[in-house]
Amino acid sequence: MKKLIAIISTACMIAGSTAAYGFEKVPCINQSTLTKGCKAAYLIDSGSGECIYKENETQRMPIASVCKVMTLTVCLDAISSGKLSYDDMITASEHAAGMGGSQVFLGAGCQYSVDQLLKSIVVCSANDSCVAMSEAVAGSEEGFVAQMNKKAAELGCNDTLFANCTGLPKETQYSCAKDVAIMFRNLLQYENYFNYSKIWLEDFVHPDDRVTSMTNTNKLIRKYSACDGGKTGFTNEAGFCLAATAKKDNMRLISAVLGADSSDDRFSSTMNMFDYGFANYKNKIVLDKDVTLNDEFEVIGGKKDSFAVCPERNSYVFSSIDKSPEVTHKISAYKVKAPVAKGQIVGQIEVFRDGVLCDTVNIVSAEDVKKASFGDYFRDISENWAL
């Protein structure tokens, strides 16, 4: 049962990342001023999912190895659900070891850890590792591709269809810049992705003592200091493609560039979009997990009548730098009985941007509250009697 203890406050004093709750879109430019030699592009704020820049964003086209964004997502979903672990050993099949294109030259019949295979997919776009993982997760690449398409549908990627897990040319497979950004945003919820994405050079050691040198295909991790992740792709049909992310201060941006004429064009266009986004947009902190709220919550049967509370995480509101949206919040407290542990969830706070809900954050106790003893009750009775 919840008890409403605070209504709306127009002053935002406190703030993590906002979710896309459907508030009015921040106006985005729709002209080919930031990209060069690209067929499509899309730039969003990672926290809110709001669009900053778009160019032919829903045009269906091949995306080559950028499809591995979804390959990685399905693999990490399997780990998250407990179906696999990073230490599990996978035996490479003849089919997996025979993949062409970019690869780490898996040995058929050799065993590799899930951690090794995922790292090689992120760093050097290894097709053989993709197929080995697909067989481990779903029993076959075909079954895995079905999971990829199911996940895409769940994310609302209506202009995406996968036919394999590698991005190698095959009929009836396509995506678009907007869907790529949505899929990449979803992938970034897995923090372990960043353990791989920032690697520049590393050796892949095979169980038969062979060594394959891996170099990151995403050159932006060396060219653009804020960039800490991305997935490249290239085929003659798809052109040069790139999904990338960069973070400065408390704002993370996600970009997608498809069908670029050259590798330089995809990287320079992405950097231009990032520069534009960081220069013209901001995430304003509106809830700070390290700052207690003005309201104290009541506690039943405690050594004290009320206790201090704070947000469980930070919350931010995204907007252009020349705008100051009205930010308000509403606090709901749960009915709480002592004892109360520091960090215990005791309520919720809803954040509104211009009157529209944009985030919901748990409220936690900022202190321990012990249960009142018989002596505490006796003392209270004595003090009240004296009055």
Instruction: Read off the pLDDT of residues 77-131 as tens digits, 9 standing for 90 and up.
Output: 999 999 999 999 999 999 999 998 999 999 999 999 999 999 999 999 999 999 9
pLDDT above 90: residue 292: yes
Q: What is the pLDDT of residues 222-258, one digit of tens each?
A: 999 999 999 999 999 999 999 999 999 999 999 999 9
Examine residue 387 and state whether it is found in any structural domain, yes or no: no
Indicate whether 76 and 91 sit together in one domain. Answer: yes
Residue type, 159: D
Q: Which domain covers residue 318, as residue numbers?
A: 2-16+289-376
Catalytic option among 17, 46, 48, 65: 65
Indicate whether 371 and 231 sit together in one domain. Answer: no
Q: Which of 329, 330, 362, 369 is nearest to 346 (CA)?
A: 362
Between 299 and 171, residue with greater pLDDT = 299
Catalytic option among 125, 129, 134, 255: 125
Q: Rounded to whole angstroms, how far apart are CA atoms 201 and 152? A: 31
Q: Calculate mean pLDDT across residues 314-321.
A: 93
Give how many domains the chain has, as a whole number.
Answer: 2
Indicate whether 190 and 113 sit together in one domain. Answer: yes
Examine residue 317 and state whether it is found in any structural domain, yes or no: yes
For residues 56, 59, 62 and 68, what is the CA-based torsion angle, rounded to 10 degrees?
80
Residue 31 DSSP class: S
Indicate whether 266 and 314 sit together in one domain. Answer: no
Annotation marks residue 68 as catalytic: yes
pLDDT above 90: residue 295: no
Q: Rounded to whole angstroms, how far apart are CA atoms 181 and 49? A: 9
Q: Calculate mean pLDDT across residues 158-175.
A: 95
3-state secondary structure of 193: helix
Q: Based on the number of CB atoms within 10 Å of its own CB, is 199 exposed (0-12), middle (13-18) or buried (19 or more)?
A: middle
Indicate whether 279 and 293 sit together in one domain. Answer: no
Annotation marks residue 125 as catalytic: yes
Q: 113: which strand partners?
A: 89
3-state secondary structure of 118: helix
- Written as six digits, the tokens of 360 are 């919901």
Q: Rounded to whole angstroms, how far apart are CA atoms 330 and 295? A: 11
Q: Calculate mean pLDDT across residues 354-378.
A: 85
Polymer length of the chain? 387
> Which helix (H) or strand (E) covers residue 231, if one does?
strand 227-235
Q: Rounded to whole angstroms, how far apart are CA atoms 69 and 27? A: 27
C-alpha distances out from residue 120 to 145, 213, 221, 251, Å: 19, 10, 16, 28
Indicate whether 93 and 155 sit together in one domain. Answer: yes
Query: Is 346 within 8 Å of 364 (Cβ atoms)?
Result: yes
Sheet holding 51-55, edge to edge: 51-55, 40-45, 251-260, 239-248, 227-235
Query: Is 196 within 8 Å of 88 (Cβ atoms)?
Result: no
3-state secondary structure of 117: helix
Indicate whether 110 and 177 sit together in one domain. Answer: yes
Residue finishing a domain among 262, 283, 304? 283
Catalytic option among 68, 151, 178, 284: 68
Examine residue 385 and state whether it is found in any structural domain, yes or no: no
- Written as six digits, the tokens of 154 are 């769940």
The rounded mean pLDDT for the chain is 90
> Which helix (H) or strand (E) covers residue 180, if one does?
helix 177-187
Annotation marks residue 65 as catalytic: yes
